[in-house]
Structure formats: structure tokens, C-alpha cells
Structure 1
Amino acid sequence: MTFPPPPITQFVLKVHSRCDLACDHCYVYEHADTGWRSRPRAVGDAVLARVAERIGEHAAVHGLTGVRVVLHGGEPLLAGPEVFRRAVERLRAALPEVCELDLRVHTNGVRLSAAYCELFDELGIRVGVSLDGDRAANDRHRRFANGRSSHPQVLRAVGLLREPRFRHLYAGLLCTVDVANDPVAVYRALAELEPPAVDFLLPHATWEQPPERPPGAGPTPYADWLLTVHAHWEADGRPFAVRTFDSVHRTLSGLPGLSEALGLEPVDLVVLETDGTYEQADSLKTAYDGAPATGMDVFRHSLDEVARHPGMAARQSGLEGLSAACRACPVVRSCGGGLYAHRYRDGSFDHPSVYCADLRALIDGLAARAGSVRRPVAPPVDLVGPELTDGQLDELAVGLGGRETVRALARSQLALTRTMLAAVHGSSGVARSAAWDLLAELDEAEPAAVDAVFAHPYVRAWAARRLGGDPGAGLGTLAELAAAAAVRAGRGDSVVVPVREGVLHLPTLGRLVLGGGAREARITGGRTGWTARTDDDAVAGSSDPCWQPLRRTVRGIALEDVDPQRAAHRWPVADRLTDAEYAGWARDLGEAADLLDRDLPEYAPGLWAGLTTVTPLRPTPDGHDVSSAARQAFGAVGIARPRTSSTLALLLVHEFQHVKLGAVLDREELYDRSDTRLFEAFGLSPRPIGSLFQAVYAHLAVTAFWGTRPTEGTEGEAARARFAHWRRLTDEAVDLLAGSGALTPLGKRFADGARESVDPWLRATVFPGRGV
């Protein structure tokens, strides 16, 4: 049987095709491929528009809940600020509402400025910087064309990203390995910059252009170099994520790797050049001239066509696509044959990697240090919790769901979060973890304390990022969870937690703004008070002025403005609210709650049973209403504070419909997920069946809301017009959904429920005398 290729979720968008450095190991300009010479220097508006359309189209067809776009080059900052702004605006406008956009830029750092950082902060772009270590190491390759060092400029750029106002933009460092450099000096130089992640890359090479191997260095110099770094990284307590090491630990535990360089998972990355042509991974430029070419472009070809390209298929074929020697190797599931480009020899990629011996030595070395070569991940125990009753399904099918029904969904989501956290710990490569052991102990003695922490929406969002291979999702969050549960339990346990950018965070409780250079702190105490002693001997605690508690409002809803994991929404999150801003939010939420209790009593009880968290988002420059429900954060909605409390009420009930349906979809099949047809409804761009289902479900609440608004005066006239508008569009969309032929029996039950809700609205007279 032939299976369709997996959808593409990662895109490298070249916004500029030239560079202001002359690095002699650069795969773009210094290796076999010369395609850059004929391309426009900067990407044009027409290309940006079509790129956004293609990515949005692909996300809609495949029902993607997230895509990552890396803005790259050449040196991307040469493109100028307006190119970044236009690119991001077009991408956000083109993506379906339920698809989150993860934006990154990768730069050499030379041109990074405070103005650029402010722009990236506004646009929600995280920044990765290339740096090969200390000045001696960096100057071996990363120099200007006149031979001048780039190291001072790069340190200045990283210094900007380490400033408190920009620290959240700091995605990490990329270091190309040179075995002539001292691995300890390189590691120490990078560690001093406190990166959230470091990616050590083997220099691109093939059997025809093999990597440097210094005389007398032994048969595996690259493995030896990396294992030396690993030893110091472990001794320091893994202060930051290292994708190479984390990938090996994950694959040894049976989980997918984190990059195409390790593991057998299909590669789902496409490069978009400045002229709109699609290319395969840039690493192929090292093989031969034209190696990454597909012969396709955004103006004539869809991303599904690119995914079916023979070159893409070869990089997605897993074990079957490897050479016989690789298939017979005992570490093949961790190695994956190495990077595809590194296998090239005599016109073929059907060979082991040119780094084969190094990869085997590295994997064996890391497995031995982990103490177990094949330690399995903790299995799921109760993935989705108890079954929903027929009555509860009937409630949900008509768009509602009372208090007990939504609580059942919440229990189901908590079970899923627990399973994901077990998988996070199982894939960590750590045989024993003090934080995990304490969580297990507390789960026996004080289960309510653990449940209160695990049920926080952004715990699952972090676990999903960690399991998805995000290097910024550090393992230290487990320690924070343990500390928060211990404080809630009040037993006086002592827990060591990370301090990031001078801030200590306790999920569901708040954050301690310490400043200084501390890396970790020991939390001791319980509910009535606790203290934190840092590794530089500073002492603070829950009674300290620098403690910023998580603030709650009406119905106990948290206004989450301190959790570093809250950036799970498709729009940038707001910073810590001032006292005046908090008071305004609290007032508006109180008024919105009163309105919903009075006017939507069939929706309100379920809303208050499941909505635990409102995350303030940044307002848009044009003042348009912005709201979001993150697929991996049950119980939370993100909203930029609107002008009126009635609009806030509408946004709350609208977004919580997405939250409810997402929880249902985690446990039930409502439609054929392989159906790739697009459906046009609500005046929006064509979307797949899953997005249509979400839109129908959300607009049941939207229509109900407008059907309850006052009908007198100018405002009443506008409300009646909106009700007439949304009931018509929802009626049409329900017909489209019911007639799609893509629904399961339960999905048809939900479509019938939606029709049951809509039909009474169609019989109502909105404008007497107009026949409407």
C-alpha cells in the first residue's frame, strides 16, 4: 500500500540571499551548489504573499494545529525591518484560526540591534544566533571578507538578547563543531552566555569532500569532541538544552529524534528561496550543484506537490531508505543513517554517513553514560479518563455542556497531561530525578496538590512542546512543578528549581523576581510561607516585595501574566499587568460574567466549570479584537482586552467553544482526519473538515450571544443585524458540515445537534416588516 507523504510543518523562508560575513565553512556560498548567484537579494512582496497563501492552504488542508517558520538567509537582517513585518502579517493572516505560528529568525548577529529586538518582540519572533565558541574558535571560520573578526559584534548581539526586556526572544546558539578547537573552552564560552539551547552541528561534508580529521586525533574525533562537551554539560546539571544530546537520549528511549540529523522520523521541512522556488534542506548544497532543487515554485505548485517530490520522499522513507549497512547496524534507530547530505558518494545517497564511526561512538558513549541503552518510556495508564455518558454527549452535541459535563472533560484532559508528563520524564535520559521522585511521593500523599498544578493549562502546553522537540522547552519545568506542588501540600519539602533571567517561577502560584546572576534556588516551606535561597546566597520568599503572585478574578479565574509557558497562543502575550490594568481586567471580567449568567444561562455553567485562566494578549496596532484558544492548553483562553465588557463576554464564550471541542477531539473521532477536501463557510478562506467543525461549533455560541442582546435603539438594531447575519452563515455551515460525507456516526450526532440549535433561530422574526 502506498501512503501519502506526511504534511510539512517546518519552513525555512529565505528573506535575503546574501551575507555580510565570509565564513569559509558556509554551505550556501562555499560548497558545491551555486544557485544563490541567480536569485534576488531580498524576497519581494509577490513572493511573500504567495508563500503565505501556500503555507496557509497546506495548514488548512491537513488541519495543522501549528507550523514553524524560520526566517533565514544568507543573513536575514540584511532584508530590513519592513520585510519582516510584511512577512509576519501575511503569514498570520493566511493561517487558519486554530493553527499556531512559531516564528524564528536565525542570524549571525552582526546587525542585531535594539530596534530589531523591539520589532521581533512586537511580532513574536524568537532569535537564534550562530557562534562557534570563544574568540579563537569563532575566528577560525566566522570572519568578514577582509579577515576581520565578527566575535565582538556577535557578543554584543547576544548581550542584547540577555537583557531582561528581550530575554524571552533568546532562542539559543548554533555552534559548528571544529575538532581543532578546545571543546572545553568552546563549551565554557557558550555556557557563559546562558543560552536556553545550543545546537552543535557537524560541519557539512560528503565522502567526496570528507571532513577535517587532524593527524593523530584518533578514528572518531567528532564523537570524542562532543563526548567531552557532554561530560561537562552533565557535570553542570544540563544548564541548557543540547539538541544533539537530547535527540540521542530520546531515541534511546524509543521516542522521535529532534532533528533530521538523528532518528528515523520523516523529514517535514521545506526551504523557500527569495525567488519563490521550493528547495529541499540547505545541507544538500554540500553534495553537488543543484542537489536541493525541486523544479517547483510557489506560483505554480502546492506544498502537497513538493511533499511528493522524489527527493523529499527519499528523506521520508525511514529505515527502508537506508543503505544495507545502516539497516544492519544496532544503533540505526538512534542514528537514522545520519544527515542525508552526509551520505553522498559517487552520485548516490545510498551509503552510510561520512561521520558513521563518529555517530556510532557518540551514541554508544551517551547510552553507556545514561546507564541504559533501551529504557522504555512510562506507558499511558488512563489516557482519556472515564467515558462520557450519552447524556453528556448530547449536551455537547448541541454546543452546550453543563457543569458536570465540562468537569468530565477536565478530568479527561488531566489524565492526558499526566501521561504526557510521564513521557517527558521517560524521554529525559535521566535515570533518577529528584523532582520526579518528589512528584510521585506527593501524588500518593497529597494528590489534590499535584492535580492543582498539573491541571494548569500551560503545563500540558509545555509538555507538548518538550515532546515535540522544542529545544527551548527545558527540563527544569519539572522541578518548578514539583516545587509548586510541594508548596501547595505544605509539608516543608525542599526543592531545587531553576532561576531564569533572574526570575524564579512556581506554576499556579507566581514568580519571584530576583535579578542578579543566580542559576538556581532551593525552595523550602509550605502554604503559609516559603523561602528561596539561591546559589549566590540571596534569600527571598513569598512575603518578599519581589514576589509577584498569580492574581485571580471573578469565579476564581486566573489572569495569567507571569507563566513563561503561556506564549502558546497564535498572538503575542502581554507583559505583567500593572495594578491599574489588573483592576480594569477584573472589573470587565466581573461585568462579562454577570452578562453571561443573565443572558446565556445555558452556556455559563459549563464555561465557569472549565475556564480557569485568561491570558492577556497584546493589543494589535489597529485595535482589532484579538482572541485565541491554544489547542494544547485546556482551560485557558488568550484575549487582548477589548473596549467593552460585552465584547469580552462574547470572546470568552466563543473561544471556550474551541476549548470544549478540542477536549472532545482528544478522545473521540468526529470526522475522517484523512479527508483533504476544503470547505468554504463564514466568508473565510476554504478550510478542511476539522476547521469547518470548529467554526460551526464556535458560531453556535456566537449566534446565541447576539440573539440575546437588547433589541431597542441604535445598538439594538446593530445587534439584531449581527444575529441575522450569524444565524444565516451558521445555518449554511451546518448544512455543509452535515452533507460533507466526512463525519463519523458521532460526528453526525454533533451535526444533528447543531441543527437542533439553529432551527429555532430561523423561525424567529428579527426585523418585523422586512420578512427577516
Structure 2
Amino acid sequence: MTRIPVPLTQFVVKMHSRCDLACDHCYVYEHADSSWRTRPKVIGDEILTRAAERIGEHAAAHRLSAVRVVLHGGEPLLAGPDRLRHAAEALRAALPPGCGLDLRIHTNGVLLSRTFLTLFAELDVKVGISLDGDRVSNDRHRRFADGRSSHPQVLRAVALLNEPEYRRLFAGLLCTIDVENDPVAVYRALAELRPPAVDFLLPHATWDEPPKRLLGGDRTPYADWLLTVHRLWEADRRPFAVRTFESVHRTVRGFSSLTESLGLEPSDLAVLETDGTFEQADSLKTAYDGAPATGMNVFAHSLDDLARHPGIAARQSGLAGLSPTCRACPVVRSCGGGLYAHRYRADTGFDNPSVYCGDLMTLINGIAGERGSAAVPAAPTMSADQADQADQAGQVDQTVPAVPAQGGESLLPTALTAAQLDELARGYGSSATVAALAHAQLSITRAMLAAAWDASGQGRAEAWELLAALDASAPAAVDAVLAHPYARAWAARRLAGDLSVGLGELAALAAAAAVRAGRGDTVAVPVRGGWLHLPTLGRLAVPDGEAVVTGSPEGISVRAADGSVFTALDQPLRRVRLVGGWTVALEDLDPLRDSHDHAVAERLPDGELLAWTGALREAWELLGRDLPRYAEGIPAGLTTVTPLRPGPAGRDVSSAARQAFGAVGIARPATAPTLALLLAHEFQHVKLGAVLDLFDLHDRADDRLYLAPWRPDPRPLEGLLQGTYAHLAVTEYWGTRTVAYGGLPGEAADRARAQFALWRRYTAEAVERLVESGALTGLGVRFAEGMGESVAPWLAVPLPAAAEQSADRIREGRGHARPVEA
């Protein structure tokens, strides 16, 4: 039998096929497909048990690290607590060891009660709720059959989820857009409920049944609606995750999408109906009667059988599966043709652009323009010729006017020697080399802060004057604050034209430096949202207004706008001390930590803090054992780990923000070896970003796209360079483990050999592609050759044929490999 292209990792299980609301925009009951009429109302226990077994078999066969299952309907709560318990327990029991279960339920909230939530707390079931905004907006569609509003019941359900006992279960809200609803009112109503996430969904439509358009209105009303919400969301500093917005931010930068509605990532979703039949994505019910049907069922067919279904394969073919119009579109790698169902037309099937084509293009270009088109002024760079001259002197060409520091020294001091640059090219970096990078980064941060302040037009001001005074008298205190990764992130956003990031953050930096200096200096800091945040120190709850912060030898003193005085932080920044004396901050407070391409976690509860502490300590020991040449430089440059929210379907999530040197964002993975590899992988990005701030390694005018061996979609050259550099560490990680296992048998040893075979080949191919691109500078070619020298010894390590064959299967069957599968 043919191999499946992509394993299925996300499953929708229909617990009940009827609903207690009569929403007139529901794709299940109100659109083309009518299969619900002939299905049992409630799913049977035997179907649930067999479905759990099928998912467990599939997870074991494809070594899945996690699966996501959404209990759905109709209205799944109508199935009752006993059946929901059976579903959860059967699924957990059937999964193989090492495979996590992300179990969720999506409900309209009408029946949600403490009884259900107590059950979900016991079974660890996250809860998502459908809500279209304020009462007027929600009542436009989401009503009972007799016309009554469902809004009060839904608000009651959300209030229950926001209680401390159940808050951890709150997965988020799902809002279907209606362009007749006021986007500001909808956003404000949802934001007031403090959801962890909101999905704004386009109403399902096709070319035969097009979406609502307002008479005499804009041609792209859905884009305009969403862009209004996006501006509010950005102005509020992204108070909750929004997959649509985050996916646009990610895909325009060459990263993967977080939703099937955007991007070119293959779909890995399947649906189980109450009668035990397998279907494709539910959204297809809007196309035509029977569109999602597969002809398969849980008793007669495996999930591998289902994954081979032509309809599912059609949603996994990336760019090749799109219409000619889409393939020629400049935003196709972000749009991805839109949701598959929205492309349908009776005469041409799904071989069309999305019926929302214009809206999607306007949305993507609008978000890219608001957040990404205004480039941050280039950091100091060096041409190839200048680099050759500087090799002897060890100097950095200052292509930006130098800003004097104390003593009149240049803010762009000697950075790297030729030997240090060669060391970095091979992927490594000693403590001295990484410290030199960090020193150069601090100088760049100073210059960017000065430029951002000058651009503000504020002239002389208390906060800036205090920073300058402290820089002369207590430079260590200023350096400690300015070395904080998100100090530079503030300057980068301001220089990019993002004025939603106010000048209050600069006052907070000055206040933090004053507290560290302890000289008795005083500075006023604006307070918004009830928290006074002091970078590198922590935060305290104070009334909004202007707080006066004093840093004295006795500590901190804060006088709030209402006259109350505070002498301690409510929530100090917490740090983990690791073997060897290295201390890393767990940054879960800074408002600018959202610089990463993933949603950040909120303040870690004590239990999660302990879990992070143990995981970091174990991961650091593993790095010292398995990647000693990479580990040596990490303490000199990595100061901050920012906890992220878990990824979809339990996938490992990590990030290095380009304008936040010294920080990595990570969603705590299930195992310490995975965390070790994530740390090494992301710190490679941190190092290379710092190198690219100092040297031109490639022609920045080259706008061609290049295929990375491990991805199905082409990337800009810098993206290929970043990925290749990060995978040097991945290759050595698996190579070291393979050598350690020797010829020992066992699943873990076989897996290490297969991963090693895969990543050494991928990385070597990528290095060759970089050299052959013709777009590297002379210094860039030398850098790529250094990467090649690092990979070459690993290519000579003999491996059994089974390992190479396993790598071949991954290359042929998955197309998009994940570097972190420890």
C-alpha cells in the first residue's frame, strides 16, 4: 500500500448531532449538506472505544508526540457527563506511552455548568465557547429556536470559566464575523471577558453561495472589519491570541501558519460522526450535499486508509494543489488559497481562488503594512571588502553615526576577530566569543534607544535625563537594564513606526535602572492596566495614573496616583539558577515579551514554575553532556527564557525574536531532552542574528526564494541561512546520541540513528544550496564553508541501512520535518 503523505494529528469527534440553538449561520444544519438528518443523535460507546483504538494505533505507527481531539457537535454537552467521561478515558487509555493528548470541547455554552467543569477539570479537558460579541452582535445569529437570546447564558458560562478553579480550562472564544456588526463593539465585548484566545472566523461561503456584502459598501468588507480589530488588538498589546493575525504575521516572514484557513501547510484533520463514519473537514458541508463524505468508517478502515483519501490528500498538496490564479499571486504563501471549502464552484469544483480572495489579499497586505513594511533602520553592517580589511584589525565598519557613551568611546566597539567569526561559522561560540556578541548588541541597543528617543521629538525629559545621569555614575545599573532583551524590542517597534508602544516604557527602563543604582533618584512612570512594570525586576499592582518611583539604598518606593505608597514588588521577576552558576530569567511579565511569533504564557503558577525549574536544570545538564561546544557560550548570551503557550495539537513551539537578543521563547515541552534541543536550536538563531547585525553575509537586495530541504515552501535567503545554522546544532545533537548508542539495539537508538541520518543530510544539502545561490558575499561564502566543515565529519559516520531507509521515508512521506523530536 502507498505511504500516507502526512499523519493525521487532529480529530473532531461528534458527540451529539443535534443542537439546542438554532443559529442561522450554522454550516451543519443551514448549509448544503443534510447528512445530519439520518445520523444518530448521540455517539455510541462502542464507536468511541473503537475510535480511540484507531487514534492510538495511528499515533504509535507514526510515533506522534501528541494528538489533539475536539469533542464537537451539534452541541456536545447534550451527550451528557457519562458519555463525555467515556470519550476522555478511552482516548487517554489508547494512546501509546510518550504521546500526549490535547483534549478539548467546543460548546455554545448554554448548558455549561459546574458539574461539567468539575468533570473537565478532572479529565483535563479545555473548553472553547462560541460567542459573536456583544448582545446585539451575538443575537443576530445565535438564538434559540423560539427567537430568545442565548447571550446571557453564554456570558454565565464564560464567567464560570474565568473563576480561578476553572480558568486553566478556558481555551478561548470563537467569533463568526458578520460585517453588519460593529467590529469595535465586538472586539471590546470579547476583550472584556479576558479570553486566552479568540478565533475570528469568516462565515462559510462558496462562489455559488457568496458571503454577505453590504450594499454600497467597500469591496473588501471582511478585510476592513478584521483590520479594524487588528489595530485595536495591537494597540492593546495583543491581550489574547488570535490565530488569524498571528498566522499572517508568521507567514509573511516565511514561518508556518497556525490555522488551516491560511498558509500552505498540509491539513492533518479528520472528523468522526456519531454513526462512526469518517469525514473530511466540517467546513466542506457548506459546498454541496455529501461533500465531506469519505465512504469510510471507524470499524472497517484505519486512519492510514483515511489519510490516503483523495479529498484529504487534496488539502495536503501545498502550492501544487492551488488554482493557476492562486499560484501566480504575490501573497499566496501567506494566503494559501484560503480555506479549501471557500474555493468551491459547481462547474469547476475547488480549482478556484477563495470566494474571499480580495478580502484575504487586503487583510494580508494591510497587516504586513501595519506591522512589517516599515523596516527598522539597518544595524551596522560590513561589506565583504571591508570585512577582509577588518580581519587584521578586528574592527567593525560604522555605517551608522556613532553615539558617544561615557568617556567618548564609540558605541560600536571592536566586535569579533577573524578567528571568532570562523568559530561562529562552524556553529559554535566560546564564552568569550558570545560575550563579544553580547557587548556589540548592547552598543546597538543604546544606539537604537537614542534614535527612538530622538524620533519621538520629546527633547529633554525627566526619564531620558535620568538614564544619561545614571549612565555616567552607575553604568552597571544601566547596562543591566538595557541588556534586557525587550529593551531593544521597544526601540525596534518605535523605529518601525509602531507608536502604540508608548514612551512610558522608556520611563520604566529609567526607573528600573534607578532602583538598581540605589542613589535615591526619582522618576515618574505612567501606569496603564493597573500594573507598574519595571524591566528586569518585576511588577506591582497600583492604580492607573502616574506613579513616582524612587530607588534608594533601602530599596524601592512607589507613590501611586492616589497617594498610596508601596515598598515591594507584588510579582518579582523569577530566575532559575543552574549548574555552574548560570542564572536565567523566566520572563512571564514584560509587556513587550510578545515580540515572539507565538502567543506568550501568562504569569506562571507555582506548580508550573517548579516544572520549568526542574526541566531547565535537567536540560542544561543534557546540553553540557550532548552539545558541549554549543553549551559553552550559552550562559554568556542567553539571559531570558520566555514561556510560550502550548502549540496546536501539542506540537513543540519555540522562537527567537530578531530584535530581542538574549531571549528565547519556548512552550515547555514534555521532556527535558526536547527542551535541551529547543534551547540549542533557538540560541543558534540568536547568535546568527547578532552576526548579521555586524556583517553582510548575503546580498540584501536578492529577493529570490530558496527551497530548504526540510520545508515544502521556499524561503528568502536569510531564512535558509537561519535554518541551516540552527540545524548544525540539531545534526550534532543526534550525531552525539548516535555515537553514544553505538551498535546497541532498541527503539530509542534506532530513532536517534534515523534522525541523525535525516538531519545531517538536510543540513549538508542546505549548505550546498547556500554556496550555489550566488547571493552570498565573500564573507558569507566563508561563513557557509565553515558550516560545511562542521557537517562534514558527521557525514562520514557509518550508519546501518535501516537508518538511512527510515530517513528516506521521512523525506518522501512527510515533506516537512520537525527539527525537535527528542
| Distance 1:561-1:336 versus aligned 2 partners, 3 A rule | closer
Q: Distance in 2 between matches of 1:92 and 1:504?
A: 43
| Distance 1:667-1:305 versus aligned 2 partners, 3 A rule | farther
Contact 2:16–2:274 (8 Å) recurs in 1: yes
**2:79 equivalent to 1:54:** no
CA shift for structure 1 position 170? 2.6
- Hey, what does 2:290 align to over in structure 1? 290
Q: Distance in 1 between matches of 2:668 and 2:259?
A: 31
Q: Distance in 2 between matches of 1:129 and 1:377?
A: 44
User: Aligned ranges for residues 585-604 of structure 1 at < 5 Å?
Assistant: none
| Distance 1:160-1:374 versus aligned 2 partners, 3 A rule | same
Q: Distance in 1 between matches of 2:574 and 2:99?
A: 28
| Distance 1:338-1:562 versus aligned 2 partners, 3 A rule | closer
Q: Distance in 2 between matches of 1:497 and 1:28?
A: 47
Q: Which shows bigger deviation, 742-751 or 288-297?
A: 742-751
- Hey, what does 2:568 align to over in structure 1? 543
Deviations 1:702-756 (A, max 9, x none): xxxxxxxxxxxxxxxxxxxxxxxxxxxx97668877999996896998999xxxx
Contact 1:343–1:354 (8 Å) recurs in 2: yes
Contact 1:15–1:43 (8 Å) recurs in 2: yes
- Hey, what does 2:86 align to over in structure 1? 86
Letter in 1 for 2:340: Y
CA shift for structure 1 position 246? 2.9
Partner of 1:294: helix, strand, or coil? strand
Q: Distance in 2 between matches of 1:527 and 1:315?
A: 62
**2:30 equivalent to 1:5:** no
- Hey, what does 2:198 align to over in structure 1? 198
Deviations 1:359-389 (A, max 9, x none): 23333433443461899999xxxxxx99999
Q: Distance in 2 between matches of 1:94 and 1:673?
A: 31
CA shift for structure 1 position 167? 2.9
CA shift for structure 1 position 530? 5.0
User: Aligned ranges for residues 242-257 of structure 1 at < 5 Å?
Assistant: 242-257=242-257
User: Aligned ranges for residues 24-103 of structure 1 at < 5 Å?
Assistant: 24-103=24-103
- Hey, what does 1:334 align to over in structure 2? 334
| Distance 1:287-1:375 versus aligned 2 partners, 3 A rule | farther
CA shift for structure 1 position 512? 5.2
| Distance 1:733-1:222 versus aligned 2 partners, 3 A rule | closer
Contact 2:481–2:536 (8 Å) recurs in 1: no
Partner of 2:187: helix, strand, or coil? helix
- Hey, what does 2:303 align to over in structure 1? 303
Letter in 2 for 1:362: L
Contact 1:175–1:200 (8 Å) recurs in 2: yes
Contact 1:253–1:375 (8 Å) recurs in 2: no
Q: Distance in 2 between matches of 1:741 and 1:262?
A: 29
Letter in 1 for 2:568: S
- Hey, what does 1:120 align to over in structure 2? 120
CA shift for structure 1 position 341? 0.9
Q: Which shows bigger deviation, 363-372 or 742-751?
A: 742-751
Letter in 2 for 1:154: V
Q: Distance in 2 between matches of 1:364 and 1:315?
A: 24
- Hey, what does 2:354 align to over in structure 1? 353
Q: Distance in 2 between matches of 1:559 and 1:80?
A: 46
Give unmatched runs, 5+ long, in structure 1: 379-384, 394-403, 419-430, 433-437, 455-474, 614-627, 640-653, 675-689, 701-729, 753-772
- Hey, what does 1:458 align to over in structure 2? none
| Distance 1:242-1:740 versus aligned 2 partners, 3 A rule | closer
- Hey, what does 2:185 align to over in structure 1? 185
| Distance 1:244-1:563 versus aligned 2 partners, 3 A rule | closer
Letter in 2 for 1:304: D
Q: Which shows bigger deviation, 68-77 or 221-230?
A: 221-230
CA shift for structure 1 position 144? 0.9
Give unmatched runs, 5+ long, in structure 2: 380-419, 443-454, 457-463, 487-499, 641-649, 656-663, 685-708, 712-729, 761-792, 801-822
Q: Distance in 2 between matches of 1:58 and 1:103?
A: 17
Contact 1:21–1:144 (8 Å) recurs in 2: yes
- Hey, what does 1:145 align to over in structure 2? 145
- Hey, what does 1:624 align to over in structure 2? none
Q: Distance in 1 between matches of 2:120 and 2:531?
A: 22
CA shift for structure 1 position 27? 0.4
Contact 1:505–1:563 (8 Å) recurs in 2: no
CA shift for structure 1 position 334? 2.8
Contact 1:453–1:507 (8 Å) recurs in 2: no
| Distance 1:12-1:444 versus aligned 2 partners, 3 A rule | farther
Q: Distance in 1 between matches of 2:586 and 2:119?
A: 21
Q: Which shows bigger deviation, 503-512 or 342-351?
A: 503-512
Contact 1:133–1:185 (8 Å) recurs in 2: yes
CA shift for structure 1 position 31? 1.0
- Hey, what does 1:105 align to over in structure 2? 105
Letter in 2 for 1:216: G
CA shift for structure 1 position 108? 0.7
Number of positions where the alignment pairs a residue of Structure 1 with one of Structure 2: 608
Contact 1:254–1:374 (8 Å) recurs in 2: no
| Distance 1:750-1:630 versus aligned 2 partners, 3 A rule | farther
Deviations 1:378-414 (A, max 9, x none): 9xxxxxx99999xxx9xxxxxxxxxx99x99x99xx9
- Hey, what does 1:683 align to over in structure 2? none
Q: Distance in 1 between matches of 2:255 and 2:666?
A: 28
CA shift for structure 1 position 146? 1.5
| Distance 1:235-1:289 versus aligned 2 partners, 3 A rule | same
| Distance 1:746-1:121 versus aligned 2 partners, 3 A rule | farther
Q: Distance in 1 between matches of 2:481 and 2:21?
A: 54
User: Aligned ranges for residues 580-729 of structure 1 at < 5 Å?
Assistant: none
Partner of 1:53: helix, strand, or coil? helix
**2:240 equivalent to 1:240:** yes
Q: Distance in 1 between matches of 2:339 and 2:56?
A: 29
Deviations 1:242-272 (A, max 9, x none): 3333333333333333322222222222222
Q: Distance in 2 between matches of 1:299 and 1:50?
A: 7
Deviations 1:98-143 (A, max 9, x none): 4443333221111112333333333333322111122122112111
Q: Distance in 1 between matches of 2:605 and 2:342?
A: 44
- Hey, what does 1:155 align to over in structure 2? 155
Q: Distance in 2 between matches of 1:122 and 1:212?
A: 43
CA shift for structure 1 position 191? 2.5
- Hey, what does 1:131 align to over in structure 2? 131
CA shift for structure 1 position 291? 0.7
Partner of 1:7: helix, strand, or coil? coil
- Hey, what does 1:171 align to over in structure 2? 171
| Distance 1:300-1:153 versus aligned 2 partners, 3 A rule | same
Q: Distance in 1 between matches of 2:167 and 2:37?
A: 36
Deviations 1:65-111 (A, max 9, x none): 34333222211222223333333334344445444433332211111
| TM-score normalised to structure 2 length | 0.56
Q: Distance in 2 between matches of 1:165 and 1:538?
A: 34
| TM-score normalised to structure 1 length | 0.59
Q: Distance in 2 between matches of 1:663 and 1:13?
A: 35
Q: Which shows bigger deviation, 228-237 or 249-258?
A: 228-237
CA shift for structure 1 position 449? 7.4
- Hey, what does 1:223 align to over in structure 2? 223
Q: Distance in 1 between matches of 2:262 and 2:665?
A: 36
Partner of 1:241: helix, strand, or coil? coil
Contact 2:508–2:533 (8 Å) recurs in 1: no
Letter in 1 for 2:353: P
Contact 1:23–1:144 (8 Å) recurs in 2: yes
Q: Distance in 1 between matches of 2:586 and 2:334?
A: 39
Q: Distance in 1 between matches of 2:49 and 2:378?
A: 43
User: Aligned ranges for residues 384-463 of structure 1 at < 5 Å?
Assistant: none
Q: Which shows bigger deviation, 147-156 or 247-256?
A: 247-256
Contact 1:199–1:244 (8 Å) recurs in 2: yes
